[in-house]
Structure 1
């Protein structure tokens, strides 16, 4: 009994490995931790640090949403191999994504929206097989959307709106059969919408407006029976025939430049604003 009483608290409050602790400290220093809204006291137990979730002696969650992080993300972030949730949204993070971020193979939720991150998306993102949420809207990302996003078979939300992305929408996006929300609003994307996107049977929100997309709307859109929000205005489409095969009663929000279609949806009057400013601003603290 004496042994159990003495050892119990030691097990419960066991600190994480030095490798994981040093990664947290790197994050603190590289993002001006002393200037955070709620800074960490590095002289206290990690279990008391704001937004850090521990389980079985490992860091499994970091939530520093709207906490005035200013600076770059350290490469050592990739050492947190047990991390499942990373929410650093609505801060002032700059620089590029660490190349080792793709080593976070247990990560389910990555929220970095509303920062100032530049550079390209990681080609190795397909290694992060557990990802369910990848949200980086309102940053300064450039380059193209890696086709390897199509390897994230558990992905439910992909939001890359309001960046400087260019190139085409990869056909591989059609592999994301669990996807519920896709936001690519306000980029420089071109080419046609892949017909493979008709495979996204769980998709509820599709926002492609304010790009340079062209060609025809795929006839396969008629298969998107779960779609409630569709915004494709301010593009360069040649034909909207594919939309005419859709069930008009399914939509809550429908925005297109084809004016002959719009009156069919005027019985629903909603304020129609960009998804990046509405749906995702109130982020669950647990994420």
Structure 2
């Protein structure tokens, strides 16, 4: 009998501890962070989301929100029917490491305040309806590893400031309305492994500075208005496996002779432009996919 009472007391104690702990964790989430989440919920019609938030419940119980040490560190609302604009207050989520809002119906411009997320490593905004220019302030996001915003309506030039993000490994701005030249500064992204600029309105010569990207595995520049010649510096891209430069205005492929044809898994170029001699027949040209097929979002990323 005594033993049963002790067991009940222990069970009751554990339940009380869990309730107190949960309440304490929720209480530690700063008001500014909770308000930023509530504004995001309101501005993207949270009542119509596929999975809605119970805003009266603890923050850490909200779908897609991860709280650690009293701060919001992750928001993953992938394919959750968000419709509307991103609020400026999103910049108040100072401890955010992962922000995945891909495959929704988000419109309007990318808030400049997003650059205040200095700890952010992953920013996924692809497959939305975002428009306007990419804020140059994003170049101040010193922890960013992945920036993916393909299939939107972004316009204007690619900011030179993106070359400041030395941690960046993936940059995908494909299928937008971006114009101007590819910034030389992208050649400073020494850790970059994947660069996707497919299907924009980019013009001018391809910067030779891209040849400095020794870790680059995928370079997708197809379906633009790029001209000039293939930079001789591309011969330094020893890690490159995927190169897609077709459907541009490039008039000389001569410098591709310095590239190792055996390194490519996918190589697409305007073969008709090479001429009858086809000096590059040794290249294994595989035209079985377009740029964005590899950039499919995953819920666990």
| TM-score of the pair, normalised by structure 1 | 0.93
Structure exhibiting the larger radius of gyration computed from Cα positions: 2
CA 1:235/1:10 → structure 2, altered by over 3 Å: closer, same or farther? same
Match runs of 1:80-119 below 5 Å:
80-119=93-132
Moved over 3 A (4+): 4-15
Conserved? CA contact 1:157–1:181, under 8 Å: yes
CA 1:118/1:5 → structure 2, altered by over 3 Å: closer, same or farther? closer
- Kindly provide the CA deviation profile for residues 177-228 of structure 1, in whole angstroms up to 9, marking residues without a partner as x: 1000000000000111111111100000000000000111100001000000
Conserved? CA contact 2:268–2:287, under 8 Å: no
Q: CA deviation at 1:34?
A: 0.6
Measured in 1, the distance between the counterparts of 2:105 and 2:50 equals 12
CA 1:208/1:62 → structure 2, altered by over 3 Å: closer, same or farther? same
Conserved? CA contact 1:255–1:262, under 8 Å: no
Conserved? CA contact 1:94–1:118, under 8 Å: yes
Conserved? CA contact 1:185–1:209, under 8 Å: yes
Conserved? CA contact 2:117–2:141, under 8 Å: yes
Q: Which residue of 1 aligns with 2:78?
A: 65
- Check if 1:171 corresponds to 2:184: yes
Q: 2:289 aligns with which of 255, 273, 276?
A: 273
Conserved? CA contact 2:147–2:172, under 8 Å: yes
Q: Which residue of 1 aligns with 2:7?
A: none
- Kindly provide the CA deviation profile for residues 110-142 of structure 1, in whole angstroms up to 9, marking residues without a partner as x: 000000000000111111010001100000000
- Check if 1:285 corresponds to 2:275: no
Measured in 2, the distance between the counterparts of 1:241 and 1:86 equals 42
The size of the alignment, in residue pairs, is 282
Measured in 2, the distance between the counterparts of 1:238 and 1:123 equals 32
Match runs of 1:1-287 below 5 Å:
10-259=23-272, 260=278, 263-266=281-284, 272-276=288-292, 278-281=293-296, 283-287=297-301
- Kindly provide the CA deviation profile for residues 63-107 of structure 1, in whole angstroms up to 9, marking residues without a partner as x: 000001011001100110111100000000001111211111111
| Unaligned segments of structure 2, at least 5 residues | 1-12, 273-277
- SS state at 1:238 partner: coil
- SS state at 1:263 partner: coil
Measured in 2, the distance between the counterparts of 1:261 and 1:272 equals 22
Q: CA deviation at 1:13?
A: 4.9
Conserved? CA contact 1:254–1:262, under 8 Å: no
Measured in 1, the distance between the counterparts of 2:200 and 2:265 equals 24
- SS state at 2:295 partner: coil
CA 1:235/1:58 → structure 2, altered by over 3 Å: closer, same or farther? same
Q: CA RMSD in A?
A: 1.9
- Kindly provide the CA deviation profile for residues 146-192 of structure 1, in whole angstroms up to 9, marking residues without a partner as x: 10000000000000000000000000000001000000000000111
